Amino acid sequence: METFPVVNMEMLNTEKRAATLEKIKDACENWGFFEVINHGISHELLDTVERFTKEHYKKCMEQGFKEMVASKGLEAVQTEINDLDWESTFFLKHLPVSNISEVPDLEDDYRKIMKEFAAKLEKLAEQLLDLLCENLGLGQGYLKKVFYGSKGPTFGTKVSNYPPCPKPDLIKGLRAHTDAGGIILLFQDDKVSGLQLLKDGKWIDVPPMRHSIVINLGDQLEVITNGKYKSVEHRVIAQTDGNRMSLASFYNPGSDAVIYPAPELLEKEEKKNTVIYPKFVFEDYMKLYAGLKFQAKEPRFEAMKTLETAVNLGPIATA
């Protein structure tokens, strides 16, 4: 049985750097997921984020979730539910413009700690993108430049709680999907599990680990690497007991960023008759994704190819 890849970021500053980079490369090519420890975000900050997130759910969101469940009669369902998820969520935007001061019902201390947390995650995301560039043989900063567009990347956090569910076999915490964006950094509950990824046709648990950050790759990195790295289907299984906390932060391209396979990678593959992924504006992909999130990614890529043929996007400057 293969073990889920865990990367100790501290090893990058030692003689084990090459082996650590190789572990990241293997995870990107074969898993689409890996977990990082010693990532530079303090345990104290993570503990504070967790405490505030759980308190906020209890105080401001739990009752609303219970009322929604009651109004839809979800506790008594007898057949599988395919059009909703057993989750309670809100969304924080960090870049290009933060909305943290406008989100209702957040305590000032919670707003402050989430701003600090977001700044640390942004730094970690950019560090990871540079490690991916190194592994791919792309110039340092290439991925960050492609993501930049005219206003910089889009970055936000989906704050979720997955309360105890009486019928986890009939209602998913979150239905299976791939993520549309760039690189995703997840701070998840270390006691209540539920996240699974699809590997070789089997659902595999992503192990909860205290103070780790789970990394997964979105559709845009699959396109930029022309399929060398894959965005992988994942889901959340609701649990009958325990409330699972999940803070997924999405470091995505800017809305007007043009996404396309890296020319350097295509040159290396020229002789292999490789299928070439489409070129498109990120915002156009997101509009398509909004209606097709819980469907396979391949038809989305095909649809963008059709659009690419209709609208010639021309050469792109990335410098």
Is 60 exceeded by the pLDDT of residue 169? yes
Rounded Cα distance, 141 and 133, in Å: 7
Tokens of 126: 């950019």
pLDDT higher at 270 or 42: 42
Residue 203 has a CB neighbour count (10 Å cut-off) of 13
Mean pLDDT within 151-166:
94
CATH number for the domain whose boundaries are 4-311: 2.60.120.330
Q: What tens digit of pLDDT does each residue of 109-148 get? A: 999 999 999 999 999 999 999 999 999 999 999 999 999 9
Q: What tens digit of pLDDT does each residue of 182-193 get? A: 999 999 999 888
Do 181 and 191 touch, CB atoms closer than 8 A?
Answer: no
Mean pLDDT within 181-205:
95
168 cis-preceded (ω within 30 degrees of 0): no
- Name the DSSP letter for residue 30: H
Rounded Cα distance, 138 and 125, in Å: 17
Rounded Cα distance, 285 and 256, in Å: 11
Do 207 and 4 touch, CB atoms closer than 8 A?
Answer: yes
Q: What is the pLDDT of residue 270?
A: 63
- Backbone torsions φ then ψ of 184, nearest 5 degrees: -115, 135
Token pair 């413009």 is found at 97
Q: What is the mean pLDDT of the chain?
A: 92
Residue 77 has a CB neighbour count (10 Å cut-off) of 13
* Beta-strand relationship, 258-259 and 174-177: unpaired
